[in-house]
Amino acid sequence: MTSSTTAAPERATARTGAPMRRAILVFISRYATLIGLLAMIFFFSINAPETFFSRANFINILSQASLTAIIAAGLTYTLVVGEFDLSIGYVGSFVGLMVAGFMAKAGLPIPVAIGLALLIGIGLGLVNGALVTKVRINAVIATLGVGTMLSGIGFSYSAFPIAMGIPRAFTNIALGRPLFGIPNPVFVMIAVLAVLWTILNKTEMGQRMQAVGSNIEAARLSGIRVDRVKMFAFSVAGFCAALTGILLTSLLGSGTLGAADGYLLDAFAAVFLGSATMREGQFHILGTLVGVLVLAVGFNGLSIFGAPTYFQPIFKGGVLVLAVGLSTLARRYAAQA
Amino acid sequence: MLTSSSPIIRVASNSEQTRPGAAARPALGPWVEIRGLGKHFAGEVALDSVDLDIMRGEVHGLVGANGAGKSTLIRCLAGVTVADRGTIRVAGEDLRPGSPRAAERAGFAFIHQELNLVPHFSVLENMLLGVPKVTRLGLIDWKRSGAGARLAAAKVGMRVPLDTRVSELSIGERWLVMIGKALARNAALIAMDEPTASLSAAETDHLFALIRDLSASGVAILYVSHRLDEVLDLSDRITVLRDGVIVDRSERGRLDKAGLIRAIVGHDVQTREDRPRPLVTRTGTPLFSARNVGRGHAVKDVSFDLWRGEILGFGGLVGAGRTETARLAFGVDRLERGHFELEGAPLRIRDEADAVQKGLALVPEERRSQGLMLDQSVAFNITIAALKPFEAVPGLPFLSSSKMRSAANRLVKHLQIKTPGVGTRIAGLSGGNQQKALIARWLDTNMRVLIIDEPSRGVDIGAREQIHDAIRDLAKTGVGVILISSDVEELALVADRVIVLHEGRVTGELTGADITESRIVELSYLDRAELAGAES
């Protein structure tokens, strides 16, 4: 034994690089998104100190990010429990159209219209959840089917934007700036993220959600009603999608067919970026927020620097692929360590 | 299933010429030389300067507690893990570290407990997985590609047609596929991890005969197992690891079981005689009963009573219906016949959550796939079954992390779970400590009946003893324990009473001094008719 221990060091030198490299890779996969976000902010601030690095622009970025953050936070829940929700964009569009119709066509008071619209969102989430847990349809298929049907139903409800008859008070919701010149949707986003973070990290339901996402069989055998947990996650995703849809209608001043469809891709990119942020591929609310900010800062910078419009989808798609790649890598390194 | 009586394995007499590795035998000196191998994980020593030789054609037993470094050693050989220091030389040449391909080219093959087979591929397809195949016009010529595999299949004694899907095979047959796959690649060293864990006695016999034949034909076997009798029986040499260091090496015949155990744990292990158990009172209303329960063919007709504070062992072969009975009791599968009773009252269980609410607890058979939430912390895994006690304000659904941490700390200490902290990911713990965490999961619940399935499978001897202590302690508090185990020694050591199942029926019951390993084994192979015949 002694002879081998003395001989060991000289042979060792060749290989000490490997664990180092592993550690660096783990560090990169954990903090790459944060570093990327800071680097972008740094780069844009230096190169466009007037336009980018200004209070007005930061508020602009935040308000752009707020709608995405709300819908992405809901999506995070379904991913935490190991499912998918591809219907969120369509749900947002549909609910946005309906809330406009409730006010403009049915003449309902604003709070009633909003309340009904949110209930529709929750209901659609429960439909998704039931299809996935009770009928056992693959979540990708079930939510894609529901979403596609919604776009058709929306079309039958109103093929044209509903703009006439929407009360000023409703459009003021998204435009109002009650504090420090920060618009309402930012506060709504903060409230939603705070509540969702608390539920996920500090409540029994949150623990159950994480358990289900971690090992569904073990969760079931620990006495967790797995189906209920998943239904809850889907209903939250539906609620958040509806909220984004309502705010979007308020922002646009009209209920427009397919208006929120594009949030689906943004939300997915943000959530997967977030899962590679500070964790090893686990989905979490703060990470999602970071992901949303990466997208928002990126878009903002691109437009400030006058990047051509076609560059936006390239950026968005690139970020999505990069995000999922990072998330997968993070999980793989975590499994090996 | 394979029968032990017929000699199924016929190794071709010319096999030594067909394998390049074997042709060099008898070579002087060791074939594989491991020198000064060291590996640290997160500051903890997994391997500390290990020297080990493997000769051509030897059966080399590798034993040690979980966490002793066996798997790290094997992972280094396989090129999956890169050692911090030290070398591995094969036939005088350095093995490139961290390269599974280099390991395969050197003639190493590895068979893990979770057999890496594609279930919906045929036997042949699995054996040829990853091997370049003979193609004609771009299409695989299975006939010519499979020639070597067919030879290997004959060598290992595969009796099923090679186009059978692997999903239809028994675990024993899957082992043969894995060994055949290794032979088809000219493996000269096959490392087997706990090969008999899920095998029947006949399959085990077949495997042992095969191992001896392979060894005679020049293939070295690295045999890793907690079943010391098997290791002693098979091995030409045995290496014992403890805490990353080799603490004993011995040639055949120099060590006995007690000596091995001493080397593994570092102290003597108590036997049944050393532990007088308080007598269980089996009068009045039983705590938990099964009345002619059944489902499909797996569970035909099972009845039993479990008393307060009793450890009731379920003996029998794999597939006898023990786990399936447990699943019925816990509400995992729907009951088709009969019913369960809790304290004499009929018990209707809707689902697992309902079972937990009514005081049942289950530590499942498959630790990783059914028990652990691997990417979560130790504390998370311990507290997940009962979150109510951790409410920050009782009645509100908000949890107090500090309450959870302190409860987890208490249970970690109570069950002697070795972990850097309760915030550590449970995936980093050894199997024995993971198993203890799964028991800890139930300790703070209102559990009255604990069903524990194969609690010490793949667990080292030291942890096994602690798990047994935990089970006994629980029983002392009045909990009724159903202990399902294929390890007859475990049943004899721990259970107050044993019922033996065979093909979905109870074939016998043993109490007190009658609980012996041989009686349990005897009953395991008898069905009812034979039993009745034997008694009349």
pLDDT, tens digit, for every residue of B29-64? 788 999 999 988 765 678 888 999 999 999 999 988
* Buried-exposed string B476-487: b where 16+ CB fall within 10 A, e elsewhere: eeebbbbbbbbb
Contact criterion met (CB < 8 Å) for A8 and B356 = no
Q: Is residue B208 within 8 angstroms of chain A, CB to CB?
A: no
Burial B117-132 (b: 16+ CB within 10 A, else e): beeeebbbbbbbeeee
Nearest-neighbour CA in chain B from A137: distance (Å): 21
| Whether B56 contacts chain A with CB within 8 A | no
Average pLDDT estimate for B410-424: 90
| DSSP percent split of chain A into helix, strand, coil, nearest 5 | 75, 0, 20
Give the per-residue pLDDT at B392: 87
Contact list, B75 vs chain A (CB under 8 Å): none
Query: Strand pairing of B480-484 and B311-316?
Result: parallel
Rounded-to-10 torsion of CA B227, B231, B232, B235 = 180
In angstroms, what CA-CA distances link A103 with A115, A121, A167, B124, B232?
Answer: 12, 17, 8, 67, 83
Mean pLDDT value across residues B69-97: 89
Query: Is the Cα dihedral B351, B354, B359, B362 positive or negative?
Result: positive
Q: Which pLDDT value is given to residue A336?
A: 59
A vs B, Cβ pairs < 8 A, gives 114
pLDDT at B197: 73
In B, which residues are within 8 Å of A198 by CB distance?
Answer: 398
Which positions in chain B touch A205 (Cβ < 8 Å)?
Answer: 397
Cβ atoms of residues A226 and A216 within 8 Å: yes
pLDDT band at B28 (very low <50, low <70, confident <90, very high): low
Of the candidates B86, B357, B375, which has its C-beta nearest A282's C-beta?
A: B375
Q: How far apart are CA B51 and CA A306, in angstroms?
A: 65
Residue of A nearest to B401 (CA): A202
Considering only residues B27 and A56, tell me which one the structure prediction assigns the higher pLDDT.
A56
Subunit contact B376:A204, Cβ cutoff 8 A: no
* Strand B85-90 versus strand B237-242 pairing type: unpaired
Joined tokens for residue A233:
């996650």
Q: Does B2 score more than 50 pLDDT?
A: no
The amino acid that residue A109 corresponds to is P
Is A198's CB within 8 Å of B373's CB? no
The C-alpha angle A332, B365, B331, rounded to 5 degrees, equals 110
Residue B205 to residue B4: CA distance in whole angstroms: 6
d(CA B318, CA A211): 29
Percentage, residues of chain B above pLDDT 70: 88
**Average pLDDT of the segment spanning B133-139:** 75
Mean of the pLDDT values across residues B184-210? 86
Q: How close does chain B come to A148, measured CA to CA in Å?
A: 34
Q: Which residues of A touch B82 (CB under 8 A)?
A: 15, 18-19
DSSP-based three-state secondary structure for B164: coil
Q: What single DSSP character describes residue A179?
A: B
**Residue B449 in contact with residue B287, Cβ under 8 Å?**
yes
Peptide bond into B26 cis (omega under 30): yes
Q: Do A261 and A248 touch, CB atoms closer than 8 A? A: no
- Average pLDDT, whole number, for chain A? 87
ipTM value, please give it. 0.82
Query: CB-based contacts of B410: which residues, under 8 Å, 6+ apart?
Result: none
* Alpha carbon distance B59, B129 (integer Å): 26
| Chain A contacts to B (CB-CB under 8 A) | 1, 4-5, 7-9, 11-12, 15-16, 18-19, 198, 202-205, 207-208, 210-211, 214-215, 217-225, 280, 282, 334-335, 337
B309 reaches A (C-beta below 8 A): no
Residue indicated by tokens 């902290």: B421
Nearest residue of chain B to residue A23 (CA atoms):
B42
Per-residue burial over B239-255, b = 16 or more CB atoms within 10 Å of its CB, e = otherwise:
bbbbbbbbebbbeeeeb
Q: What's the Cα-to-Cα distance from B280 to each of B307, B476, B503, rounded to whole Å?
A: 8, 10, 29
Per-residue pLDDT of chain A (337 residues; tens, 9 = 90+): 333 333 333 333 344 455 676 677 777 767 878 888 888 888 888 888 888 888 888 998 998 899 999 999 999 999 999 999 999 999 999 999 999 999 988 889 999 999 999 999 999 999 999 999 999 999 999 999 999 999 999 998 888 888 888 898 999 898 888 888 889 999 999 999 999 999 999 999 999 999 999 999 999 999 999 999 999 999 999 999 999 999 999 999 888 988 999 999 999 999 988 887 777 778 999 999 999 999 999 888 888 888 888 888 888 888 888 888 877 777 776 665 5
What gap in Å lies between CA B159 and CA B8, rounded to an integer? 9
Confidence of residue B526 (pLDDT cuts 50, 70, 90): low
Of A5, A204, A282, the CB nearest to B49: A5
Tell me, what's the pLDDT at B525?
65
**Chain-chain contact of A204 with B36 (C-beta, under 8 angstroms):** no
At residue A296, the pLDDT reads 92
Phi, psi of B36 (to 5 degrees): 60, 35
Average pLDDT across chain B, whole number: 83
What are residue B37's DSSP bridge partners?
B50
Residue among B465, B469, B445 at smallest CA distance from B456 = B465
Q: How far apart are CA B491 and CA B428, in angstroms?
A: 29
- By CB atoms closer than 10 A (0-12, 13-18, 19+), residue B344 is exposed
What is the number of residues in chain A?
A: 337
Per-residue pLDDT, averaged over B163-185, amounts to 86
Give the whole-angstrom CA distance, residue B455 versus residue B223. 22
The backbone torsions φ and ψ at residue B44, rounded to the nearest 5 degrees and listed phi first, read -100, 140
Query: In this predicted model, which residue has the larger pLDDT, A302 or B24?
Result: A302
Q: The tokens of B382 are what?
A: 């311990």
Give me the amino acid identity at A167. P
Q: What are the strands of the beta sheet with B480-484, ordered from one edge? A: B345-347, B337-342, B288-295, B299-306, B505-511, B497-502, B311-316, B480-484, B449-453, B360-363
User: Does the pLDDT at position B301 exceed 80?
Assistant: yes
Least Cα separation, residue A231 to chain B (angstroms)? 16
- Half-sphere exposure at residue B25, Cβ-oriented, CA atoms within 13 angstroms: 20
Q: Which pair of tokens denotes residue B387?
A: 């979150």
For residue B495 the two structure tokens come to: 């259970």
Q: Which two structure tokens, joined as six digits, stand for B477?
A: 């508090």
User: Which member of A12, A215, A280 has the closest CB to residue B373?
Assistant: A215
Please write the tens of the pLDDT for every residue from B369-388: 899 998 899 999 999 998 88
Span of A227-241, B130-144, B335-349, B501-515 with lowest mean pLDDT: B130-144
pLDDT higher than 50, residue B6: no
What is the number of alpha carbons within 13 Å of residue A15 lying toward its C-beta? 19
Q: Band of the pLDDT at B8, cuts 50, 70, 90? A: very low
The contacts of residue B505 (CB under 8 Å, 6+ apart) are B300, B301, B302, B321, B527, B528
CB B255 within 8 A of CB B232: yes
- Cβ-based neighbour number of residue B212 at 10 Å: 15
The pTM of the whole model exceeds 0.90:
no
Cβ proximity of A66 and A231 under 8 Å: no
Pairwise CA distance, residues A17 & A134, whole Å? 51
Q: What is the pLDDT of residues B322-332, one digit of tens each?
A: 999 999 999 99
Band (pLDDT 50/70/90 cuts) for residue B536 is very low
Distance from the Cα of residue B210 to its chain's centroid: 20
- Highest mean pLDDT of the ranges A5-14, B43-52, B449-458, B518-527: B449-458
The distance of A226 to chain B (nearest Cα, Å) reads 9
Separation in Å, CA of B369 to nearest CA in chain A: 7
> Is residue B132's pLDDT more than 60?
yes
pLDDT at position A337: 52
Q: Note the pLDDT of residue B279.
A: 65
* Average pLDDT score over residue span B465-476: 91
What pLDDT is attached to residue B1?
40
Q: Say which amino acid occupies B253.
A: G
Backbone angles phi, psi at B315, to 5 degrees: -100, 170
Which tokens belong to A135?
């009928």
- What is Dmax (Cα atoms) for chain A? 90
Q: How are strands ordered across the β-sheet holding B44-54?
A: B44-54, B32-41, B85-90, B93-94
**Which of A9-23, A107-121, B165-179, B424-438 tops mean pLDDT?**
A107-121
